[in-house]
Amino acid sequence: MNQIRTFNVLTLASILLLAGCFGMGDSAEASDDHDHTPNAAPVISLYQPNYEINCDETICAGELFHAVVDPDGDVITSGWDTDLDGTIDFPVTINRGYTNISMNSADWEEDEDGNPSWTTIAFIAVDANDAATAELHTITSEYYYQSSTGTFTFNDRDAAGTMGETMDDALVHVQMTQGDGLSWAVLKVSIVVDGGASYTCSTDATNECTIGEPAEGDNTWDTSEEITISESGTDLCNGANGGCEVVVTITRLGNDAADDKVIATVTAYADAN
């Protein structure tokens, strides 16, 4: 009888011990599940405080604003997908700011006159742990302009001041006298002085020549607005021969669907005095 009782006690103790072990295992697993936090996807905002998209018969271009953050602080790969194929066409390198983008105007919806009117694009963000998110964004065209030769006309005049061997002389002014507005996002202004090398002018003094207002503070070059072309770190015209001929070429930049196109060539004269 004592042997049977002893056997029962040992069996019950074994059952209780095993039950406790399994219980501890369940508790530990549950605790691990509770402590684990899933990776969060990036969060996107595409609110546009101010934007302007200009279109012609081949290209729509302009600047768009974005803001993106990863709640976990992960590194983000992000950018604009303009053709909605799930691939970033215009990558961004900052979490907040403006990006110059261009699209084929044939992909836009047209207004009653057949001009590009609006389209929907996307902003995609993927963090380092492959958590992804995308935000659709509908944009509209503010201006429509023709880009064929002869649609735009420009006047030129000498810039004030005496030129010398300095490297920051103002050379000439160029004014648009006819046209509906050209987006600076798709414009290139280059000059040739006295038949020399061709230089592309910039607005930030990084090239051999600079473009003054309205390029410095406006999205478009509109009728009656005038730009000033000046030297920038290079003595392009010292005035030794009384002045210099400055040939200004204004080019509309192309994309995958269209080549670059010269809108106008203006021959101006920078008087040394």
pLDDT in the model for residue 18: 57
| Tens-digit pLDDT profile for residues 53-96 | 888 778 899 999 999 999 999 999 999 999 999 999 999 999 99
pLDDT at 17 > cutoff 50: yes
Percentage with pLDDT > 90 across the chain: 51
Are 61 and 143 spatial neighbours (Cβ–Cβ below 8 Å)?
Answer: no
**Could you tell me if 111 and 185 lie in one domain?**
no
- Averaged pLDDT for residues 182-193: 88
**Could you tell me if 130 and 167 lie in one domain?**
no
> In whole angstroms, how far apart are CA 178 and each of 8, 36, 147, 172, 243?
106, 65, 12, 19, 28
User: Which segment of 2-6, 92-96, 178-182, 245-249 scores lowest on mean pLDDT?
Assistant: 2-6
Q: Number of folded domains in the chain?
A: 2
Domain end point (choices 118, 144, 170): 144
| Tens-digit pLDDT profile for residues 142-158 | 655 444 444 789 999 99
> In whole angstroms, how far apart are CA 68 and each of 79, 95, 119, 207, 245?
10, 5, 22, 32, 49
Average pLDDT, the chain: 84
Q: What does the alpha-carbon distance between residue 268 and residue 255 come to, in Å, rounded to a whole number?
A: 30
Give the other-Cβ count within 10 Å of 256's Cβ: 7
Confidence class of residue 184 from pLDDT cuts 50, 70 and 90?
A: confident
Q: What does the alpha-carbon distance between residue 236 and residue 50 come to, in Å, rounded to a whole number?
A: 37
**Burial of 273 per CB tally in 10 Å (0-12, 13-18, 19+):** exposed
The amino acid at residue 257 is A
**Could you tell me if 109 and 172 lie in one domain?**
no
pLDDT in the model for residue 190: 96
Q: What does the alpha-carbon distance between residue 151 and residue 133 come to, in Å, rounded to a whole number?
A: 43
CATH number, position 83: 2.60.40
Residue 38 lies in a domain: no
Residue 4 lies in a domain: no
Give the other-Cβ count within 10 Å of 147's Cβ: 18
**Could you tell me if 165 and 136 lie in one domain?**
no
**Could you tell me if 201 and 131 lie in one domain?**
no
**Could you tell me if 121 and 168 lie in one domain?**
no
pLDDT at 3 > cutoff 80: no
Percentage with pLDDT > 70 across the chain: 81
Q: Which domain holds residue 129?
A: 43-144
Residue 23 lies in a domain: no
Strand 187-193 to strand 243-252: parallel, antiparallel, or no bridges (unpaired)?
Answer: antiparallel
Name the residue with higher pLDDT: 211 or 49: 211
Closest by alpha carbon to 173, among 154, 190, 199, 200?
Answer: 154
Residue 31 lies in a domain: no
Query: In 3-state terms, what secondary structure has residue 166?
Result: coil
**Could you tell me if 138 and 161 lie in one domain?**
no
Domain end point (choices 144, 174, 198): 144
pLDDT in the model for residue 27: 47
pLDDT in the model for residue 219: 76
